[in-house]
């Protein structure tokens, strides 16, 4: 049976984790629009002439009402 001190010695970190939370937050919110009170909705990802649609997605779909049949 191992003692607690031996168990603590064995628990050395395997990976060096370095997370940039500011960058992660920007990436996470890049395809969402704030609707207030800490809630977000996805925005339409369709681009035409380097201009994003940016409208809120229709129901639970990936696209806005105008582009709802975009991927068909």
Amino acid 47: pLDDT? 86
Strand partners, 43: 56
Residue 25 pLDDT: 93
Any alpha helices (H) in the chain, and if so which ranges?
Answer: 4-10, 21-29
DSSP 31: T
Query: How far apart, in whole angstroms, are the C-alpha atoms of residue 48 and residue 34?
Result: 23
Per-residue confidence (pLDDT) for residue 24, from 0 to 100: 94
- Tens of pLDDT, residue by residue over 14-62, are 788 889 999 999 999 988 988 899 999 888 888 888 888 888 888 777 8
d(CA 61, CA 42): 9
Short-list 42, 55, 32, CA closest to 66: 55
pTM of the model: 0.60
Domain boundaries, the chain: 14-72
The predicted pLDDT at position 62 comes to 84
Q: Where is pLDDT greater, at 17 or 1?
A: 17
């Amino acid at each position: 049976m191992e003692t607690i001190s031996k168990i603590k010695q064995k628990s050395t970190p395997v990976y060096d984790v370095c997370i940039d939370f500011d960058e992660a937050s920007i990436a996470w919110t890049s395809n969402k629009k704030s609707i207030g009170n800490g809630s977000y909705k996805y925005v339409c990802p369709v681009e035409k002439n380097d201009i994003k649609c940016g409208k809120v997605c229709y129901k639970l779909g990936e696209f806005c009402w105008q582009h709802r049949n975009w991927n068909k």
